[in-house]
Amino acid sequence: MLKEISTKAFALFLLMLSFGMNAQEEVHEIAPQHEGDKDLKTEIKDYINHHLQDSYDFSLYSYEENGEHHYVGFPLPVILWDDGLKIFSSSKLNHGESVAEVDGNYYKVFHGKIYKTDAQGTINLDEEHHATNEKPLDFSFTKNIFVIFAVSLFMVLMFASMAKSYKKNPLPSGMGRFLEPLVLFIRDDIAIPNIGKKHYRKYMGFLLTVFFFVWIINLLGLTPLGVNVTNNIAVTFALALMTYLLTTFTANKNYWKHIFWMPGVPWPMKIILAPIELLGTFIKPFSLMIRLYANITAGHIVLMSIIGLMFIFKNWLGSSLSFGLAFVLALLELLVAALQAYIFTMLSALYFGMAKEEHHDH
């Protein structure tokens, strides 16, 4: 009996689904909006590209009213070097819509970069659609830098207060209750097995900092703040560069011997292996950089494309499907955020361990 009812309910559900789809198709037949659809697609693409870029102001969202764009957020300082230091608020650039005048020079944002223009803000383009205007040296305090500073400040305050509480009482309290297992995990499961009991203490500072920094910033990227710092390749480059410098400058004799004169292989092999091993020292931090950057970028693009599908389907079935998919993917991204921080820390520890490996017989 129960089975019969459930079968009927299922059939009814299927029927409703097919009606929903049919209704939608009819609407499309009445008003074929191929032009509009294409515009929507490019708009979504532009929006995703815009989200992936750094920007000169911190705006949460924008809306249109009476044909005017309104932005909710705050401007950040723009710092340029153009025959002297030029500092002005990015509100003068007005999100690329107006020309900023500073000391008789005119600047305009074009595709996320500041160019020097004339008073009308003319951008000269070549055949490949690249601007040929002069570009001033840009040291602006952009959104990414703002987030990096904010997260650094947050981490300093959080960990300083944690350290203080441990001085008073060895039992964890407050944030310490949540973070102590993570710190211990990094020490006992990442640092000690990979670097060894003798040398690990020296690297703990870097490993903990990099783990929490990457993790917090990855998590911030999933909030509706629209922050995305780790999908800027310059940021991951700087992080990987730190790992590279630490590995190179703390390495012992044994490490260099294994690179330039691999023990235990015949001498023609040693000559062949030396350049390969030397290249390997650069490839290791390079892969760190690419991995973090590509994972977070790919995650953001996929998540935003699926959210964008809602606006393309415009029916309840497609929209709810893409909502469910976006929800599941967001959960997956939560995992990826932690996993990438873990992998970055883990591989850094592995490289430090290689640099500190003592001599042993092969």
Partner 1 sequence: MTIPNIVGAGLIVIGAGLGIGRIGGQAMEAIARQPEASGKIQTAMLIAAALIEGIGFAALFAA
Sheet hosting strand 137-138, strand order edge to edge: 85-89, 77-81, 137-138
Neighbours of 38 (CB within 10 A): 10
Q: Least distance in Å: CB of 84 to partner 1?
A: 39
Please answer whether residues 337 and 230 qualify as being in contact, where contact means their C-beta atoms are separated by less than 8 angstroms. no
Tell me: does residue 42 bind partner 1 (CB under 8 A): no
At residue 130, φ and ψ (nearest 5 deg) are -100, 145
Return the number of the residue (172 or 193) whose C-beta is nearest partner 1.
193
* Three-state SS at 320: helix
Judged by CB under 8 A, the residue of 86, 291, 317, 325 near partner 1 is 291
End-to-end CA distance of the chain: 72
C-beta closer to partner 1: residue 108 or 284: 284
Our finding on whether 342 is near partner 1 (CB under 8 A) is yes
**In this complex, which beta carbon is closest to partner 1, that of residue 48 or of residue 145?**
48
Site for partner 1 in 271-290 (CB under 8 A): 287, 290
CA distances from 299 to 87, 175, 225, 334 (A): 35, 29, 16, 10
Q: How far apart are CA 271 and CA 283, in angstroms?
A: 19
Which one, 290 or 330, has the nearer CB to partner 1? Answer: 290
Enter the tokens of residue 318: 């497609």
Task: Work out how close the CB of 325 gets to partner 1 at its nearest, in angstroms, rounded to a whole number.
Answer: 18
User: In the structure encoding, which two tokens stand for residue 176, read together?
Assistant: 């310490």
Task: Name the residue nearer to partner 1 (CB basis): 325 or 343.
Answer: 343
**CB 193 to partner 1: min, Å:** 8
- Which member of 16, 298, 331, 334 binds partner 1 (CB under 8 A)? 298
User: How far is residue 174's CA from residue 176's CA, in Å, rounded to a whole number?
Assistant: 5
Q: Is 306 in the site for partner 1 (CB under 8 A)?
A: no
Q: Which is nearer to partner 1, 95 or 291 (CB)?
A: 291
Beta carbon nearer to partner 1, 219 or 350: 350
343 binds partner 1 (CB under 8 A): yes
Residue among 244, 175, 217, 193 at smallest CA distance from 340: 217
Distance CA 92, CA 99 (A): 7
Among 80, 346, 354, 355, indicate the residue that binds partner 1 (CB under 8 A): 346
Report which residue type is found at 333.
E
Q: What is the Cα–Cα distance from 22 to 33, expressed in whole angstroms?
A: 17
Task: Give whichever of 40 and 350 is closer to partner 1, judged by the CB atom.
Answer: 350
Say how far apart CA 110 and CA 36 lie, in whole Å.
Answer: 26
Other C-beta atoms lying within 10 Å of the C-beta of residue 112: 14
Which residues within the stretch 164-223 sit at the binding site for partner 1 (CB under 8 A)? 189, 193
The one among 158, 273, 294, 321 contacting partner 1 by CB under 8 A = 294
Give me the residues paired with residue 131 across strands.
125
Q: Is 338 a binder of partner 1 (CB under 8 A)? A: no
**Applying CB under 8 A, does 232 fall inside the site for partner 1?**
no
Q: Are 237 and 245 in contact (CB under 8 A)?
A: no
Least distance between partner 1 and beta carbon 350 (Å): 7
For the CB of residue 284, give the shortest distance to partner 1 in the complex, in Å: 10
Instruction: Please report how close the Cβ of residue 291 comes to partner 1 at its closest, in angstroms.
Output: 5
For position 62 contacting partner 1 by CB under 8 A, the verdict is: no
Q: Which is nearer to partner 1, 151 or 354 (CB)?
A: 354
Q: What's at 121, amino acid-wise?
A: G
Which residues bind to partner 1, rule: CB under 8 A? 189, 193, 287, 290-291, 294-295, 298, 339, 342-343, 346-347, 350
